Each structure stands twice: as C-alpha cells, then as structure tokens.
Structure 1
Amino acid sequence: MNLEMVMQELEALGKERLKKMYLSNGAREPLFGVATGEMKPIFKKTKLNQPLADQLYATGNYDAMYFAGIIAEPNSMTETDYDRWMDSAYFYMLSDFVVAVTLSEADIAQDVADKWIVSGEDLRMSAGWSCYCWLLGSRPDSEFSESKLTKMLEQVENTIHDAPERTKYSLNNFIYTVATSYLPLHDKAIAAAKAVCPVEVKSDKGKSKFLNAADNIQKTVERGKLGFKRKHVRC
C-alpha cells in the first residue's frame, strides 16, 4: 500500500463523533476521527514500513500520524528522526501516545528520553517521562539502573508541583508506574506518591484536576497486579 491508499482507507473509517472528541482533547485539522482499533486491518496490509510511516507522519493529519506510530520500525529510527517526530507532535496524544510509545521499543529509548526530560519544553518533557513509563511497564526490571530510577523519583518529588501542566501528568504516572511495575523501588515510589499527592493540574477551561498516584497504586495492589508488564507496547 502507498500513502494515497492508506489515506483513503483512513478517511473511510472516520467518524464525526470521534473527530469531535479528538478535537476537544487538542487535536486539530486535518483529521478524520478514526478509532485506533479499526486501524488493525490496514496494518495487516502495510505491515511495518518505516518509509510509509514517515510519509504518513509528515501529512500532519492526526489519524495518519497515529497510524505512522503503529507501522514504524523503532530501531530503524535515529535520534534525529525521533526529534523530528517530536517537533511535529503538537499535543499530548501525539507526544505521549505516538512518539513516546514508538521510542519505547527502540534500543536508544533511554538515551533519547533522558535528553527530552531536561529539554525544558512541556511536550518533550512529558514524552520523555512517558517513555520511561512505557519502558518500565514492558521491559524486565534488570534493564534499568535502580540508582538512576531512585534519582528520577527524587527529581519528580522535588519538581512535580512546579512542572508544566502536561508534564505533571507524566510525572505522576512515572511514580505510579515505578510503584507498580518496578518492584525494587515499590516502597520508595509509594513514599513519593504520598509526599506529593494531590497534584493540581490547571486547565485552559478554568477547572483544575487533582491527580493522586497513591490512590491508584493502592487500587493496583488490591487487584493483585503488582509487577505487571505488557507483552507489547504498541497496538
């Protein structure tokens, strides 16, 4: 399949209700409003295809950009490629759920995420922390440095309340993910969650949302899901 064929199939799957929902969450035109689950039949035709993924991502169409993440070949992308994708990730559903997800399956994931975390840019920082969440929730504990994650937890505890609004979500999720998916630091993550909660996130619409990692950790413990690891990060 080529770019034109994929775009035609995506457009045919678009639904006005989903389009409105995506727009309300920060997406912008152009987009079709495609349910992510309905993209799987197209993936069966394209398979993994990095050149096509780059073409789709470059369209600026939200649905095409999302599908690009599904068919991308993470280890064929360089740090420059990931930075280029981040440059076009204009809201969190792209930064955290397309770019960060794709990066999390690459060998260079931690190196790139570390640079994004210190970038000072809200969406880049959010993507960097989100990438670690995807990594911790899918890779063996042995792939991580306990001392490094300890320092990252301390950083979150010291900075979360002053962080940019979108980054607050990812920092809060990092505490939760360390507590539930990286067992060596379970107790330290719980302590961090209790120390920072609740975390206020301000909205453009005037209402604040309060995040509470400690409550969510407790719910996961009660469900017996400690140590949970995903088999696959991407769809």
Structure 2
Amino acid sequence: MSDERVPAILEELRGLEDPKIRAVNERHGDDHGVNLTKLRAVAKRLKTQQPLAEDLWATGDTNARLLALLVGRPKEFAADQLDAMLREARYPKVVDWLLAYVVKKGPHAEPLRAAWFADPDPDIAAAGWALTQTRIAKDPDGLDLPGLLDRIEAEMADAPSRLQWEMNSCLAQIGISHPDLRARAIDIGERLEVLKDYPTPPNCTSPFAPLWIAEIVRRQDG
C-alpha cells in the first residue's frame, strides 16, 4: 500500500522547483529542477524509511526518485530490485545516485557489477564499468587489469558516450592506482585521444586520461 504522505511530498518537491536549475540540468541530459541542497534537507527531515523510498521511486518522478535514494536503506534493496531500478533510471543523476548511495553501500554491489559489466545494453554496461572503477581503486584482487586495458583499447573509441566515459574512468584509475600498468594506460589514452578536447574549467582536472593520471599522481607524490 502506497504511503499516504507521497502526494504531499510530491507537492513539496514541485514547490521547490527552480526553472533556472531545471534548464541547466536539462542541458546535461537530466530532468530535475530542485536544488540538491534543499532536496537533501527534505531527506534529512524524513530520515531513513525504506517503504517510503520504494513508494517515492514508484512515482517515476525524477525529484522523488532522487529523494528515494537518500531515504532508502541500501541493505534492504534486493538485487533484482536494483537491477530493475537501474533499467528504469532514465537520467544520469538518478543513475549516479543509485550507484553511489545504494548499490555501492549494499550487499549486492559485486554480483551486480559483474552482471551489468557483461550486459549488452551499453547504458547498463556503463554502470558495470562505473562499479569496476571502484574495484580498481579499492579492491583490485581478482580483476584482470591487463584484460581490462585490452577491452578499453579495442572498444573505447567507438563506445556510446556514457559507456565511453566510464571506460575512460577505468583507464585513468588503472594508470593512477597501478604503477606497473601506468605507461600502458597513458599510451592507450594518448593514441585513442578520447576526451582530449573535453572542455575543462580552470582549476579542474581534465578527463583526458593521460592528463588525469599525471595530475593525480603528481598530487599523490607531492
């Protein structure tokens, strides 16, 4: 049974909508107009409530889904439920928060990573690559890192944009975290030139893997 508070919460979220924020987000492929600081304040007030999170998600409303990911309990989502949520998540911010705030903090991260990594849908595969980046950085045992570099070298240049971004992130993470593979990672990045011309604001690190690797390694060594 749906939580009776859901209509009032949706109305509150509509009241927090800012057309300027929505316009900026829509240029990046997203579909929400609530300032995220205000959204987090709503979540803080509601506190953690798994049934409410599931009901908010079921509305299909992007602001409500972002709120759901903040008030849910990561350990209480089933693996098949998370798989369905990823396939329903149509916008980048929802996918990012689903992975960061729920999947990574729950018990199903590794089996889902492996399943999504091998999925034929490039958007689902991108989520698998995103979780693989975390494994590369924090728990690389059992990963075939040279094999990952082979895949990246063969597939990244022609991959769809979201999948390409996550492959590139894995390439950079291998170069950053694994000195024995750093030269090869940099060489692949230099030859493929993926994101080489990506517009990067001043004082931000370029996503072009050779520059990204060099900058993070410099900071670590400094």
What range is the shorter-chain TM-score in?
0.7 to 0.9
Partner of 2:45: 45
Structure 1 segment 2-81 matched on structure 2, within 5 A? 2-28=5-31, 31=32, 33-81=33-81
- Aligned identity (percent) is 20
Seen in structure 2, the aligned counterparts of structure 1 residues 225 and 127 have a Cα distance that, compared at 3 Å, is: farther
The alpha carbon displacement at 1:75 in A equals 1.7
| 1:188-220 superposed Cα distances (whole Å, 9 cap, x missing partner) | 14522421341169xxxxxxxx95111011112
Structure 1 segment 120-131 matched on structure 2, within 5 A? 120-131=120-131
Quick one: which amino acid aligns to residue 55 of structure 2? Q
Structure 1 segment 168-183 matched on structure 2, within 5 A? 168-180=164-176, 183=177
Instruction: Report the 3-state secondary structure (helix = DSSP H, G, I; strand = E; otherwise coil) of the residue aligned with 2:34.
Output: coil
Which of residues 170, 184, 187 is equivalent to 1:194?
187
Task: State the structure with bigger RCO (CA 8 A, min sep 6), 1 or 2.
Answer: 1
> Distance between the aligned counterparts of 2:209 and 2:97, measured in 1?
23
Seen in structure 2, the aligned counterparts of structure 1 residues 19 and 222 have a Cα distance that, compared at 3 Å, is: same
Partner of 2:162: 166
The alpha carbon displacement at 1:135 in A equals 5.2
> Distance between the aligned counterparts of 1:70 and 1:55, measured in 2?
13
The alpha carbon displacement at 1:169 in A equals 0.4
What 5-or-longer segments of structure 1 have no aligned partner?
202-209, 227-235
Q: Report whether the alignment pairs 1:224 with 2:217.
A: no
Conservation of the 8 A alpha-carbon contact between 2:30 and 2:92:
no
The structure with the larger Rg is 2
TM-score (norm 2): 0.80
Conservation of the 8 A alpha-carbon contact between 2:136 and 2:174:
yes
Seen in structure 2, the aligned counterparts of structure 1 residues 128 and 189 have a Cα distance that, compared at 3 Å, is: farther
Seen in structure 2, the aligned counterparts of structure 1 residues 73 and 132 have a Cα distance that, compared at 3 Å, is: farther
Quick one: which amino acid aligns to residue 192 of structure 1? A
Instruction: Report the 3-state secondary structure (helix = DSSP H, G, I; strand = E; otherwise coil) of the residue aligned with 1:90.
Output: coil
RMSD: 2.6
TM-score (norm 1): 0.76
- Total equivalences in the alignment: 207
